[in-house]
Structure 1
Amino acid sequence: MTSHSPYPSDLSDARWELIEPVLTSWRNERRARALDIGRPPEHDLRQIMNAILYVDRTGIPWRYLPHDFPPWATVYGYFAKWQQDGVFEQLTGLLRRLVREAEGRDAEPSACVLDSQTIKTSANVHLADQGTDAGKRIIGRKRHLSCDTLGLLLTVLVTAASVSDTAAGVTLLSRIATAHPHITKAWVDAGYRTTAIDHGARLGIDVHPVHRPPGTRGFTIIPRRWTIERSIGWLMHHRRLAATTRPTHTAPKP
């Protein structure tokens, strides 16, 4: 249970039970590597995760964390270590497998969908670490994403907004082939060029561009692609993801 009145972003007991073993194992491994020297951890891991989710959902700076959470520097320290040690990636994989199995699917996907999203950057982001998406007329960065056919996240690549989907798609496909070797099919936007399609073929992935139905204009639900567009919409419910505030996209910053 939490030690404060619960926030809407707090983990429920059921959700905490799903991820608690991963976080406890991480803490125990770090303690073992340090030969159990030093003070025992002061803060509850559930409270740490709740604080991270609060920042993610509300979009506040780390230093603005309410005082009924652990100190912001402690929370950020855990966030940075979990990112560095691949804990968030591990949790994403665990939850994705649980959902897929609950839906009667194989634990590992055999097909995926790729797309990108351009995000504006804040004033503290260096010019060298962003770019202009000429099509959308946005200065910022791009998230290049892949998800399974349920819309569950597989891989993410962050670039300057000026990087083309095709160029980033080559890297993304390589990551997919390494992390998810069962995948043999990928649906992509019609803007992906032959370079990405040929690269996918060399990896054993059939890359299939999905075109807008002839004669349609404006908002149209496009087969296969709507899955990842819905996933991008889910991400936008989290204000920390709605704009890029980190000075670089290679390491987290307060």
Structure 2
Amino acid sequence: MTGQRGYPSDLSDARWALIEPVLTDWRVKRRQYALDIGRPPEHDLRQIVNAILYVDRTGIPWRYLPHDFPPHPTVYGYFARWQQDGVFTQLTRLLRSLVRQAEGRDGEPSACVLDSQSIKTSANVHRADQGTDAGKRIIGRKRNLGCDTLGLLLTVLVTAASVSDTAAGVTLLSRIAAAHPHIRKAWVDVGYRTTAIEHGARLGIDVHPVQREPGAKGFKVIPRRWTIERSIGWLMHHRRLARDYERHPHRSEAMIHLAMIDLMARRLTGEATPNWRGT
């Protein structure tokens, strides 16, 4: 790609080098089955990623993309295809392994932490995909996250806010057990009931609820669980995640993967992640 970096969200050369092989391989494989195989690609992959990151970091609607990016239907089309083809999941797995190895850890985790975040939705989210979290008094969706002990994303499940942590936790544990067979321990909050704990035991995962100290008042750091609470805070650096704007839950999950991909790539290259609140 030629020209100067136009926006703070644009990929640096170092971050692009981390993800470029995966995207190039995806394009090569996809074009093997394309009808216009002799036609060269019209859009630069790096520009497409920059446009998607711009949406994720700024929170703008797709149709408000600046005109120096490719057309917004094209950008969203790539975003949707990458979600469908598991590209974001693949990049998350690759970068997580690299970050863990850089921290002196094994590439595959042996323990995880589960938690959820209820979030309000925008007007374009269908009523059937929303619900009410009575405890937090939020009408919208719930992001159910599974992270390793460094706070790096393992899996995410977006549901209506009315879905209980226990029900979502069963699905999270199943996904984690299938994708990460070395995991034998999971820390959760007390909202995860017996059903999730017993399901974890059947999968060979010891699910251990961690609660606040009795009588504690105000903010307290809760052992083990603080790592995933921090991860949720990291995700809020991406303004698109301050509210759930995605019409489909699986697109919402892709946005969370994208935010974590951006964070891990910056961590590997030593680049800061500016906070949108002060800009």
The question of a shared fold, defined as TM-score above 0.5 by the shorter chain, is answered with yes
Contact 1:184 1:206 in 2 (8 A): yes
SS across alignment from 1:33:
coil
Q: Is 164-173 or 35-44 further displaced after alignment?
A: 35-44
Residue 7 of structure 2 is aligned to residue 18 of structure 1: no
SS across alignment from 1:158:
strand
Match in the other structure for 2:100: 100
Match in the other structure for 1:112: 112
Match in the other structure for 1:163: 163
- Once residues 51 and 3 of structure 1 are traced to their aligned partners in structure 2, the CA distance between those partners, rounded to angstroms, is 15
- Once residues 26 and 247 of structure 1 are traced to their aligned partners in structure 2, the CA distance between those partners, rounded to angstroms, is 25
Match in the other structure for 2:33: 33
Cα 1:2–1:233 shift into 2, 3 Å: farther
Residue 176 of structure 2 is aligned to residue 176 of structure 1: yes
Match in the other structure for 2:239: 239
- Once residues 175 and 85 of structure 1 are traced to their aligned partners in structure 2, the CA distance between those partners, rounded to angstroms, is 17
Q: CA deviation at 1:37?
A: 2.6
- Once residues 125 and 34 of structure 1 are traced to their aligned partners in structure 2, the CA distance between those partners, rounded to angstroms, is 33
Contact 1:142 1:160 in 2 (8 A): yes
- Once residues 77 and 147 of structure 1 are traced to their aligned partners in structure 2, the CA distance between those partners, rounded to angstroms, is 28
Give the CA RMSD over aligned residues.
1.3
Contact 1:47 1:69 in 2 (8 A): yes
- Once residues 229 and 168 of structure 1 are traced to their aligned partners in structure 2, the CA distance between those partners, rounded to angstroms, is 17
Match in the other structure for 1:73: 73
- Once residues 245 and 63 of structure 2 are traced to their aligned partners in structure 1, the CA distance between those partners, rounded to angstroms, is 14
Unaligned runs of 5+ in 2: 253-279
After superposition, residues 142-153 of structure 1 pair within 5 angstroms as 142-153=142-153
SS across alignment from 2:122:
coil
Q: CA deviation at 1:36?
A: 5.5
After superposition, residues 204-243 of structure 1 pair within 5 angstroms as 204-243=204-243
- Once residues 229 and 147 of structure 1 are traced to their aligned partners in structure 2, the CA distance between those partners, rounded to angstroms, is 10
Match in the other structure for 1:135: 135
Q: CA deviation at 1:244?
A: 1.3
TM-score, scaled relative to structure 1:
0.96
Match in the other structure for 2:50: 50
Residue deviations 1:173-206, cap 9 Å, x none? 0011001111000000012111100000000000
**Percent sequence identity over aligned pairs:** 83
TM-score, scaled relative to structure 2:
0.87
- Once residues 53 and 243 of structure 1 are traced to their aligned partners in structure 2, the CA distance between those partners, rounded to angstroms, is 16
Q: How many residues align?
A: 252
Q: CA deviation at 1:2?
A: 4.9
- Once residues 38 and 71 of structure 1 are traced to their aligned partners in structure 2, the CA distance between those partners, rounded to angstroms, is 23
Equivalent AA in structure 2 for residue 65 of structure 1 = L
- Once residues 13 and 69 of structure 1 are traced to their aligned partners in structure 2, the CA distance between those partners, rounded to angstroms, is 18
SS across alignment from 2:49:
helix
SS across alignment from 1:6:
coil
Q: CA deviation at 1:129?
A: 1.1
- Once residues 4 and 103 of structure 1 are traced to their aligned partners in structure 2, the CA distance between those partners, rounded to angstroms, is 32
SS across alignment from 2:141:
strand
- Once residues 31 and 131 of structure 2 are traced to their aligned partners in structure 1, the CA distance between those partners, rounded to angstroms, is 42
Contact 1:62 1:76 in 2 (8 A): yes
Q: CA deviation at 1:251?
A: 4.9
Q: CA deviation at 1:136?
A: 0.5
- Once residues 233 and 185 of structure 1 are traced to their aligned partners in structure 2, the CA distance between those partners, rounded to angstroms, is 23
- Once residues 2 and 191 of structure 2 are traced to their aligned partners in structure 1, the CA distance between those partners, rounded to angstroms, is 47
Contact 1:96 1:152 in 2 (8 A): yes
Cα 1:44–1:66 shift into 2, 3 Å: same
